[in-house]
Chain A
């Protein structure tokens, strides 16, 4: 059926929608080719720039931002200090492994490094008298040398310092040895013959003079000493490093033992072989003695400060807050833009002044009733870097420890199946033990006790306008 069309109005068919017998359509451009310019223009136009009014009056809401400081007694209770965390044999502070000190600074600190080497080399690869390469396990030890690498930046000496090398006589443990006990563990307690790993058989005394720009101390030892230091059947074996110069603190970065041996397969040859390090630790006296209310972080073994937070859930001030949003205000976690604990540094105990940066973090204490052995939760702050200069003679530097996420969690209801956030937090060093020095802060009874600073932003309800 052919559709009629009105000659006077070619735009309108004379009948309704009826079938049109269409001749072959005349086509200028295939439709799908015509899409290309459409898509190109669309893509070009699809880059969006939202019109934005700047500085005008179109922002339909004006939330209130206010800062509130809480005194210690208004946000925390139960401050306690716990020590003994971390093993000194795992000490790694900026490359320093241990210390040697004698009558150092106000506390008259004494420190001694204890070292245990491994067994002698079992064989060496040499050329025998026929020229063949063999592994010779029949070695005659002729002697050796021990090398001590010193961290000159972390050391404090006033000039040439005597370093004493001695062989230990008492069975000892690197994980629990202290100034008076060689072994101090559950079920076993073995005292030194005398405090400070005494008695010990002197081996050598070497003078180290930092003015010569040397960072190594070398001592030559005889074959008998080599045999004694490498006899793995002897549990008393070990080397004690101590200082004979008053007022010195030497930081040890590393030790090494090299022995000279003659192989039986080629008696004319002397080889030098390294002996592995098995254990290293240091002992010191006196231990820092905290007073009630002290806030310490760091040290070796490390100290932790624990307290329990009690963030107010309703606010009755300050006046500018009440004027803006009305009081009392129920504190919603979404209002908390920032939560910070403000701490003021205090002089560290004598001889335990930090000598390098300590990073302090805060972690939730998951089982406060099990302190000091409570597990800790995941961190909620990136931590604060504590520079040694913060803990000078007078202290008084205000530092900020952000705990925003923790405060938000304290104010929030836990999700189904999740435990409530622990309000007890521990301040501690990022790695323990981290340094011989420890960071001290003014406690609740001091002139500048800790404070909690909240920055709150209270929104206005904005509907569709």
Chain B
């Protein structure tokens, strides 16, 4: 890799190096259960509404181990995802804003052997807050106060993967990894100092847990004909272990995470037009056994579809244009019966440098307009996803 590319990689990693676990400011839907799932997909997959498997081309995706089999050059990829939006829940409303780093990764092909990869991606976000006014008797008088509960943190996943083509039409891959992360929860009760007697300091209570656990994903791609690709992946998770911090009561909690099945297919409608569909299935029911309240939605279904057009030529390069739609039932909510996220997306790809048909550096950009509903909570958001891929040898 040339020095220029090395610097580019470092900048890319620096931009994304805060880590997916530093994802912030997501959703009140995350107040329930284990939070809001974050899909570790890149900008192209987001634009096409894809869950991962079944897209043409080589991808470095935690959800599509088989797709890595077509990586022919060493590659580094980083994805950044700023989100802006607003929410309303009953009388409460406000803005939400933050940036995720859904996935960063590196892949290296060894000729005749296969492709090795390492990646770090987000999994669950648990950042939210709630406030509640109250009245307390201090000094014999009613004193106003405010309760504030804040949750900060989430779960990320690290992967090591391997993929290869076993025949001309079939590629397989496997990733193994570990969950990491931490959540800090704090409760603060403050008293109105103007009306309370002197020296009534706020009451604070805080707890924390660190996460751990293992997971395994296997995947495959099948190209029955050159114009069609079918992909699948099955992710199995061990229990997500939550170890209490030094000042947190209770022992380690184990959450039985579901296996996740993802299926996808893409078809070349013309030489420059491609369509894709995909679904995702998971059953989160077993998590309820450990939670304080029944929060999971049980079985969840995700569906997405999209199209990609080779697009116009720009400065001698192709400029793929993508549109898509995705709907995902969320496993946990803030109290409503059926939390759902859906979004329409549009995206562009820009090859910064390429050899023949192989992009050496590419920038993909996607903009989504979506909603999350969990009656009475409704969130509307804009979400941008940027992925930079750099390849070289």
Binding site for B on A (CB under 8 A): 3, 5-6, 8-20, 22-23, 25-32, 34-35, 38-39, 41-42, 44-63, 65-67, 334, 337-340, 381, 400, 402, 404, 453, 455, 457, 459, 461-465
The interface size bin for chain B is: 35 or more
**Chain B positions within 8 Å of A38 at CB level:** 12, 15, 80, 363, 386, 388
A42 touching B73, Cβ below 8 Å: no
Contact B97–A47 (Cβ < 8 Å): yes
A-B complex: 7 closest residue pairs judged by Cβ atoms: A45-B82, A402-B199, A9-B226, A58-B130, A17-B109, A27-B353, A22-B355
User: B4 touches which one: A17, A30, A459 (CB < 8 A)?
Assistant: A30
Chain B 119-147 interface 0/1 with A at a Cβ cutoff of 8 Å (1 = within): 00000000111111100111110000101
Distance between Cα atoms of A163 and B335 in the complex (Å): 84
**Given A63-B147, A464-B242, A465-B33, 18 more contacts at CB 8 Å?**
A3-B72, A16-B69, A16-B164, A17-B70, A20-B355, A23-B356, A28-B315, A34-B8, A35-B12, A39-B15, A42-B82, A52-B128, A53-B92, A54-B131, A55-B131, A59-B187, A338-B200, A464-B209
**Assuming the A-B contacts A31-B4, A463-B292, are A56 and B357 also in contact, with contact meaning beta carbons closer than 8 angstroms in the complex?**
no
Cβ-defined contact, A338 with B7, below 8 A: no
Kindly list chain A residues whose C-beta atoms are within 8 Å of the C-beta of B249: 461
Chain A residues with CB under 8 A of B31: 53, 58
Contact of A55 with B132 in the complex, beta carbons under 8 Å: yes
Q: Contact: A338 with B199, CB < 8 Å?
A: yes
What are the residues of chain A within 8 A of B129 when measuring CB–CB? 50-53
Cβ–Cβ contact A26 & B94, under 8 A: no
| Stretch of B46-54, B110-118, B278-286 contacting A (4+ beta carbons < 8 Å) | B110-118
Look across to chain B and name the residue whose beta carbon is closest to the beta carbon of A52: B129
A28 to B379 Cα, complex, angstroms = 39
User: Contacts of B351 on A, CB cut-off 8 Å?
Assistant: 28
- Shortest A44–chain B CB gap in Å is 7
**Nearest opposing residue in chain B for A461, CB measure:** B249
Q: B72 — which chain A residues lie within 8 A by C-beta?
A: 3, 13, 17-18, 20
A337's partner among B69, B150, B203 (CB-CB below 8 A) is: B203
With known contacts A26-B316, A464-B291, A338–B197 Cβ distance under 8 A: yes
Which one, B97, B137, B355, contacts A67 given CB within 8 A?
A: B137
**Are the CB atoms of A459 and B187 closer together than 8 Å?**
yes
Complex contacts, A31 vs chain B, CB 8 Å: 4-5, 8, 352-353, 361, 388, 390
Which residues of chain A are near B191, meaning CB under 8 Å? 337
Whole-angstrom distance between the Cβ of A339 and the nearest chain B Cβ? 8
Q: Are B57 and A11 in contact (CB under 8 A)?
A: yes
Complex: A165 Cα to B268 Cα, angstroms: 116
Verify A404–B130 contact, CB threshold 8 A. Answer: no
A-B contact pairs, 11 of them (CB 8 A): A18-B112, A28-B316, A45-B99, A50-B150, A52-B94, A57-B335, A58-B28, A65-B203, A338-B197, A340-B199, A464-B34
How long is the Cα–Cα vector from A20 to B390 in the complex, in angstroms? 16
Chain B residues within 8 Å of A11, by CB: 56-57, 357
Q: How many Å lie between the Cα of A13 and that of B73 in the bound state? A: 12
Contact with A along B34-49 (1 / 0, CB 8 A): 1000000000000000
Interface membership of B201, Cβ < 8 A: yes
Q: Tell me if A53 and B28 are in contact (CB < 8 A).
A: yes
Knowing A16-B165, A455-B138 are in contact, say whether A337-B187 is a contact too (CB < 8 A).
no
CB-CB nearest in chain A for B147 = A59
> What is the CA–CA distance of A204 and B271 in the complex, to the nearest angstrom?
121
Q: How far is the CA of A34 from the CA of B355 in the complex (A)?
A: 18
A406 → chain B closest CB, angstroms: 11
**Is there an interface contact between A25 and B189, defined as CB atoms closer than 8 Å?**
no
Closest to B57 in A: A11
B70 touches A12 (CB 8 A): yes
Q: A31-B8, A31-B361, A31-B388 are in contact. Are A49 and B25 (CB under 8 A)?
A: yes
Q: Mark B172-184, 1 if CB is under 8 A from A, else 0.
A: 0000000000010
Query: Which of the residues A53, A453, A455, A457 comes within 8 Å of B131, measured between beta carbons?
Result: A53
Contacts A26-B354, A402-B199, A465-B293; A9 near B388 (Cβ below 8 A): no
